[in-house]
Amino acid sequence: MHENAEHCIRAVQSKDARFDGWFFTAVLTTKIYCRPSCPVVPPKPKNMTFYPSAAAAQQAGFRACKRCRPDAAPGSPEWNVRAGLAARAMRLIKDGVVDREGVPGLAARLGYSTRQVERQLQAEVGAGPAALARAQRAQAARLLIETSRLPMADVAFASGFASIRTFNDTVQSVFGMSPSELRRRGRPSSAAGAVALRLPFRTPLCPDSLFGRLTATAVPGVEEWRDGAYRRTLRLPHGHGIAELRPTGASYVRCTLTLSDLRDLTIAINRCRRLLDLDADPVAYDDALQDDPLLAPLVRKNPGRRIPQTVDGAEFAVRAVLGQQASTAAVRTHAARLVQAHGEGVADPTGGLTHLFPSPTALAGLDPAALALPQKRKDAVIAVIGALASGRLDLGAGSDWQEARAGLGDLPGVGAWAVETIALRALGDPDAFPVSDLGVRLAAAALGLPGTPAALVRHARAWQPWRGYAVQYLWAAGEHAVDKAARDDVASPPTAFVSPASPVSTEGSS
């Protein structure tokens, strides 16, 4: 979008927050870059130039606006929709791969040369992987400076900088202030070891089904709903963490992160954003889905539904395969047994979280006899765990969606429902379509949509590339409790969320 100057100028002059993250406005006279919705008086059009990313603006010598904080804008939704090299690279950079493994490590994961990755990102985003990682480190540094009482040296290394000098120079260059000046403007968290922040998103957002579905399927000990917030444990590269996510009714979700190693801050933030699908562009997919007169009333009733995703693709794959031909309550029970037997314990002084979900490596030696499941589903669970543990199946941030689908489909006992559900929620493919899901089929029949899977797939071609969001509206077409947010202050999901009447698909729970 940044190449269409006329559209960008109109968005800036109208202060349209829907375009935050789509592009960034740099002001030639002040050398400052802003998000489109910046509250200051818009500059003259002749003084504006536009960049596709904050990293590109920083690389061109512009510093971040102190009013609108463009580095904290929602991410571009473009990387959620696309599955090409640039999109995969962007997702891996967000997940901290460049900081941990360098640009060569990023290229190796993508299966391309360093030069090809550099060239593609420069063309698509206006900055190479090193510049994108630098911008991400700067944002992490600002968050730690403003929200914690950590010494500056600890902040520098926790945010991924190799030296204090580089940290000081980057903060001064990006924000136009020294780290000490930033701290004087901040509001340190009162909770020891916790970082409190806001996760912005593009409005509208319908929180009921989003938090309701996460709560309904919560695995005891790993996830819970407590005091009006969804909480869960996180397995991170340098340790573990606990995330608390609270809907506010404003244009942000309140997030509190308690991390064993603050180097994981940026990764934890991005995984929480992905979990709640906060970088989505609801205007784009809602407008497209309203073209179908049968879906339009559902969209108008509660616009901005998001796809509840995951913080760990491997974890969700195991849970999804456990869920084939099973109710939501049964899946939670089976998953909880795996957690108790194989999960790594964590301390949660303020809640009821007790474990990390076991990694594929920890589950690799699982005795099939320990699974109280039909033989076909046992075979599927063991096959998925083996493929994940060996590396034959990649469901990580930079995975190729079609390769992952093919790999899942080749495993014994993994049905089409599980493949598409994993594509939807673990891979984040917004066009994934679990057509055999019973909840989808019942809603389709109630709305007058075609009744057979083949006919429904043909009808759903008009919804592409947003069929995954259409599924969210179909799931919410009824009045089931799974699609409503938990409202009681309890340590685990209320009974209504996990009753045996929870939706069950022809191949798995929805």
Identify whether residues 332 and 481 lie together within a single domain: yes
Give the whole-angstrom CA distance, residue 206 versus residue 304. 5
* Residue 326 identity: A
Catalytic residue of the set 264, 277, 437, 483: 437
34 is catalytic: yes
Within-domain flag for 353: no
Identify whether residues 337 and 474 lie together within a single domain: yes
DSSP 238-278: TEEEEEEEEE-SSSEEEEEEEESSGGGHHHHHHHHHHHHTT
For residue 485, the tally of other CB atoms under 10 A from its CB is 21
Within-domain flag for 37: yes
Give the whole-angstrom CA distance, residue 338 versus residue 328. 16
φ, ψ at 56 (rounded to 5°): -65, -40
Which letter does DSSP use for residue 373 in this model?
S
Identify whether residues 179 and 203 lie together within a single domain: no
Within-domain flag for 208: yes
Identify whether residues 335 and 442 lie together within a single domain: yes
Look at residues 55, 72, 89 and tell me which one is the last residue of a structural domain: 72
Beta bridge partners of 34: 25
| Torsion angle (degrees, nearest 10) of CA 458, 462, 468, 471 | -70
For residue 355, the tally of other CB atoms under 10 A from its CB is 21
Identify whether residues 369 and 411 lie together within a single domain: yes
Identify whether residues 321 and 465 lie together within a single domain: yes
Give the whole-angstrom CA distance, residue 63 versus residue 66. 9
The reported pLDDT for the residue numbered 476 is 86
Catalytic residue of the set 8, 34, 68, 272: 34
Residue 404: exposure state from Cβ atoms within 10 A (0-12, 13-18, ≥19): buried
Q: Which of 6, 64, 7, 58 is nearest to 35 (CA)?
A: 64
pLDDT tens digits in sequence order for the chain, 510 residues long: 677 899 999 999 999 888 898 899 999 999 999 999 999 999 999 999 999 999 999 999 999 999 998 988 787 777 766 668 888 999 999 999 999 999 999 999 999 999 999 999 998 889 999 999 999 999 999 988 988 888 999 999 989 998 999 999 999 999 999 999 999 887 776 565 688 888 999 999 999 889 999 999 999 999 999 999 999 999 999 999 999 999 998 889 999 999 999 999 999 999 999 999 999 999 999 999 999 999 999 999 999 999 999 999 999 999 999 999 888 899 999 999 999 999 999 999 889 999 999 999 999 989 999 899 999 999 999 999 999 999 999 999 899 999 999 999 999 999 999 999 999 999 999 999 999 998 899 999 999 999 899 999 999 999 999 999 999 999 888 766 565 555 554 444 333 222 222 333 334 443
Count the domains in the chain: 4
DSSP 82-137: --SHHHHHHHHHHTTHHHHHHHHHHHHHHTS-HHHHHHHHHHHHSS-HHHHHHHHH
> Cis omega (within 30 of 0) on the bond before 204?
yes
Within-domain flag for 278: yes
Within-domain flag for 294: no
Pairing label, strands 252-259, 194-200 = antiparallel
The reported pLDDT for the residue numbered 78 is 73
Within-domain flag for 54: yes
Identify whether residues 339 and 477 lie together within a single domain: yes
DSSP 440-458: HHHHHHHHT--SSHHHHHH
CATH number of the domain at 414, please.
Answer: 1.10.340.30
Identify whether residues 430 and 397 lie together within a single domain: yes
CATH number of the domain at 27, please.
Answer: 3.40.10.10
What three-state secondary structure class fits 20?
strand
Domain span at 472: 313-343+358-497
The reported pLDDT for the residue numbered 95 is 92
Contact between residue 246 and residue 253 where contact means Cβ atoms under 8 Å apart: yes
Q: Which residues of 84-123 are buried (b: 16+ CB within 10 A; e: fewer)?
A: ebbbbbbbbbbbbbbbeeebebbbebbebebeebbebbbe
Q: Which of 68, 70, 88 is nearest to 79 (CA)?
A: 88
Give the whole-angstrom CA distance, residue 49 versus residue 302. 36
Give the whole-angstrom CA distance, residue 505 versus residue 188. 47
Give the whole-angstrom CA distance, residue 415 versus residue 377. 10
The reported pLDDT for the residue numbered 483 is 58
Look at residues 264, 282, 300 and tell me which one is the last residue of a structural domain: 282
437 is catalytic: yes
